[in-house]
Amino acid sequence: MEKEKITFNIEKNKNFSEWYTEIIKKAELADIRYNVKGFIVFQPWSVLAMEKMFHFMESTLQKKGHMPYYFPTVIPEKNFKKESHHVKGFTPEVFWLEAVKGEDKLALRPTSETAFYQMFALWINSYKDLPFKTYQRANVFRYETKATRPFLRSREFHWIEAHCAHATEKDAMNQVHEDMETTKEVLHDIYGLPFIFFQRPEWDKFPGAKYTYAADVLNPDGRVVQQPSTHLLEQEFAKAFDVKFKDKDEKEKYVYITCYGPAISRIFASIIAVHGDDKGLKFPWKIAPIQVIIVPFSLDKDVLKKVDELKFLLIKNNISVQTDISDKRPGEKFYYWEMKGVPLRIEVGKKEIQSKELTIYRRDIDKKEKIKEKDILKYIEKTSNEIDKNLIKQADKLFDNNIINVGSKVEIKKVIESGKIARCDFCSISKTGEHCAEIIEKEIGAQVRGKNLKKESPKGKCIICNKKAEEVVYIARAY
């Protein structure tokens, strides 16, 4: 049967920006026509995937002792003012509500440290209460003034934020490392996204943090996308909100606080970008909006009966499935569901009924195969694991040959312009290196992302100021 073309025909690697815009529209992931700048309507195909993404992230956090909360969307202005570094960092991005006479001025939360820690002071009394591990699933709002992009950069995004209180700084740093492990277990092993964790430079830390560590995922266009970040906060937060506990020695001490923020809607952008191809989307099995689509070759009564039998068998075995019994031609249906990224397609016609065989199409490798109908469940169990392993294997190649060692500013520019990441010796990621980073941003249009957590020793001088290098840093353009 001759396949029929659909209008989605943009080459991803030649024009990623146009490809990204087009697939969001064609696959009906979001409608950008909502009449407030920077806000989008999430459509069912993205919501179904994101609900599964939330499930895996939340269940992993709960297994590690985090308990779920729902906090108010509004935060009083006085909460922000209690921690000066935090309010200074977020004030330009805050949506303020119109003041109600006689009440405190309120903001839509840009993040919820100042809400959580106000309550921590009421809930934490003794060392026996620690570690105190919480999280919430929430929408947050930031007055983004740059160009917005669906899922990647917007004024409202959907995320999880985890906040934990600890007795010692060592315990807090152990939590930071646990957050990194969680990122690997979920972002990589389930969502199929490769990343590098960087310690962010002093000038690029989360407002009020002592240390910030963030996972950067590489886009096919050479830009990186910051995904989950985890932070050890300065004790100013605990002091500002009076979050103390009585230790075993009966002395009052301030807690050490960590926070962690996997933004599910932003991670979804990387799933689109990393796994998609010239045909459209590809989804890992576990988070696919629909895992199986059943397409009949005709609307014959016997064919439709077999389609229903297969559908209910799969539903009974906890496999998400849809059937396409529209009056479109089979080839048109095939291309549509391939573009939508459904992992498996089952094709059913009279021949399949007579032979008791099914034709199966795999989106991850774009190939068809025939199996015995009686083996369908065994086939799906085996193949679903293969699909995820295959997509992870393909995605893990993203950083291959895309990190280039450089020895001059000219080389940095050349690497960045070619859509890759530059690695070089650098004076420092403390405040003393900020001027060099500003030169890179101004003259090359790229940012110092930080240093790799795998220890790398510099061998020479800073690529910008020619002083003795203290760090090896990575430089890239970012969304």
Whole-angstrom Cα distance, residue 295 to residue 60? 35
Give the per-residue pLDDT at 98.
86
DSSP string, 292-312: EEEEESS--HHHHHHHHHHHH
**In terms of DSSP H, where are the helices of 341-426?**
350-355, 376-396, 409-417
Rounded-to-integer distance, Cα 266 and Cα 154, Å: 9
pLDDT score for 84: 67
Q: Which of 103-107, 323-327, 335-339 has the lowest mean pLDDT?
A: 103-107
Q: Which domains does the chain carry?
A: 16-270 (3.30.930.10), 292-383 (3.40.50.800), 403-476 (3.30.110.30)
On the question of pLDDT at 283 being above 60, the answer is yes
Ramachandran area for residue 128 (φ above 0: left; ψ -120 to 50: alpha; else beta): alpha
Q: With contact defined as beta carbons under 8 Å apart, do 341 and 49 qualify?
A: no
Q: What is the Cβ-side half-sphere exposure of residue 373, based on CA atoms within 13 angstroms?
A: 17
Question: Kindly report the CA angle at 186 between 181 and 190, in degrees rounded to 5?
Answer: 140
pLDDT at 278 over 60: yes
Please state the rounded mean pLDDT for residues 136-151. 89
pLDDT above 60: residue 5: no
Tokens of 135: 């999280």
Distance of alpha carbon 262 from alpha carbon 268, whole angstroms = 11
Res. 213: pLDDT tops 50: yes
Residue 378 has pLDDT above 70, yes or no: yes
Strand partners, 252: 246
> Cβ(370)–Cβ(357) under 8 Å?
yes
pLDDT average, residue stretch 392-408: 95
H/E stretch holding 164:
strand 156-166
What integer best gives the mean pLDDT of the chain?
A: 94
β-strand 321-323 against 292-296: which pairing, if any? Answer: parallel
434 CB neighbour count, 10 Å cutoff: 17
Helix (H, G, I), strand (E, B), or coil: what is residue 357?
strand
* DSSP secondary structure code for residue 186 in this structure: I
Q: Does residue 124 contact residue 245 with C-beta atoms inside 8 Å?
A: yes
**Residues 184, 358: Cα–Cα separation, whole Å:** 36
pLDDT band with cut points at 50, 70 and 90 for residue 22 = very high
β-pair partners for 295? 347
pLDDT higher for 84 or 72?
Answer: 72
- Rounded to whole angstroms, what are the CA distances from 366 to 54, 56, 277? 28, 27, 11
pLDDT of residue 2: 39
Confidence (pLDDT) at 3: 42
Bridge partner list, 76: 106
Give the residue-averaged pLDDT of 107-131: 96
Residue 400's alpha-carbon distances to 23, 129, 194, in angstroms, are 26, 45, 11
Q: Strand 67-68 to strand 132-141: parallel, antiparallel, or no bridges (unpaired)? A: parallel
Tell me, what amino acid is at 473?
A: V
What's the confidence (pLDDT) of residue 99?
80
Beta strand ranges found along 251-366 (DSSP E)? 252-254, 256-261, 292-296, 321-323, 344-348, 357-362
Beta-strand ranges (E) seen in 18-113 are 30-31, 41-42, 67-68, 74-76, 95-96, 106-108
| pLDDT at 87 (0 to 100) | 67
- Asked whether the CA dihedral 26, 31, 32, 33 is positive or negative, the reply is positive
Q: What is the pLDDT of residue 418?
A: 95
Q: What is the mean pLDDT of residues 353-381?
A: 97
pLDDT (average), residues 464-472 = 97
Helix axes 44-63, 264-275, angle to 10 degrees: 110
Three-class SS state of 219: coil
The pLDDT, as a whole number, for residue 466 is 97
Residues 6+ apart with CB under 8 A from 150: 24, 29, 30, 32, 40, 269
**What confidence tens digit (pLDDT) does each residue in 157-205 have?**
999 999 999 999 999 999 999 999 999 999 999 999 999 999 999 999 9
